[in-house]
Amino acid sequence: MRDSLPREIRQIPLERIDVLNPRERNAKAFSDIVANIKAIGLKKPIVVTPRPSDDGSDRYLLVCGEGRMKAFKALGQATIPALVVEVDDEDAFIMSLTENVARRQWRPLELLAGIEQLLARGYNPRQISVKTGLTFSYVQGIVSLIKGGEQRLLVAVEKGDVPLNAALAIVGAGDDDKAVQAALQEAYEAGTLRGRKLIDTRRVLERRSKLGRSIARRMPRGTSDVTTSSLVRTYQKEVERQKAMVRKATIAQQRLLFTVSALQELFKDDNFVNLLRAEGLDTLPRYLAERVWTDGRRT
């Protein structure tokens, strides 16, 4: 158990710390970390485990706290308070992954990459569940999506856009559009896919159909495999694109409400209505007509 590990806090030279699983971080989030540490200091020490170097000098492997360590470097510090624990590489990796899962704001692709690495190390879903604190059914579902190459659905599940059971039902339907629609209908009737989630799920399925199951860029032959960092960057761009779509949709909705309100006022004037009829302009698109209908009268 982690709580039973021998530990002590030391001031460790930053130049002697090696990173086990380097990650790229959002520039805004990192600047916030730097500003916070500069203002009030380090609230929580990083976690490292000692590793002897070839020349016999003391070196350490970072287990948790890469953002804090980089912030200290950015602030020109030479040392950092660190909790030193004695663990092997396997336990260090699991502690690092568990730390990420426990954060309030972790990136979906980081979690997925961690689970994939545990699978590659020979852990089964139940063991991953025990070591990470995630429920077995959740891990089992995520593993099924990973093995199916369903990266787009995986990210949607982690963002909360698509319920896990709905994603599994969609995968189980295969490439048969009718079977996929039946899976959506079943999830709707079960109450797990209603309202906004249903809309988000349909959007994900449209992108999945047009762009494929993976969100990674297609690499030309002869290039290296896609890295976790590149997947994170791709995911961040996808998030920004979706935010832009939401902003455009909000503006369009506001304009539509203004138009409907203006038309409702105009149609209260009989002279205006008679003029439209005389000019043969007394019909509206169904969507607008249903909203402009006022005083029990349709134009």
Residue by residue, DSSP assigns 7-67 as: EEEEEEEGGGEEESS-----HHHHHHHHHHHHHH--SS-EEEEEEE-TTS-EEEEEEE-HH
Q: What is the pLDDT of residue 88?
A: 83
Give tens-digit pLDDT for 251-260. Answer: 887 887 888 7
Structure tokens, 205: 């399925």
- Residues of the chain with pLDDT > 70, as a percent, come to 80
Q: Between residues 294 and 27, which one has the greater pLDDT?
A: 27
Neighbours of 61 (CB within 10 A): 19
CA 193, CA 23: separation in Å to the nearest integer?
A: 34
CA 209, CA 42: separation in Å to the nearest integer?
A: 47
CA 78, CA 119: separation in Å to the nearest integer?
A: 37
Give tens-digit pLDDT for 66-91. Answer: 889 999 999 999 999 999 988 887 77
Q: Where are the alpha helices (DSSP H) in the chain?
A: 27-40, 66-74, 89-102, 108-120, 125-132, 136-147, 151-159, 164-172, 177-189, 195-211, 228-266, 270-278, 286-292
CA 282, CA 275: separation in Å to the nearest integer?
A: 9
Q: Which residues contact 291 (CB under 8 A, 6 or more apart)?
A: 260
224 — pLDDT class (breaks 50, 70, 90): very low
Q: Which residues contact 97 (CB under 8 A, 6 or more apart)?
A: 111, 114, 117, 118, 131, 132
Task: Tell me the sheet residues that pair with 47.
Answer: 64, 83
Q: What is the pLDDT of residue 230?
A: 58
Q: What is the pLDDT of residue 113?
A: 73
CA 50, CA 183: separation in Å to the nearest integer?
A: 51
Lowest mean pLDDT among 34-48, 56-70, 130-144, 226-240: 226-240
DSSP 8-state class, residue 180 = H
pTM, two decimals, is 0.48
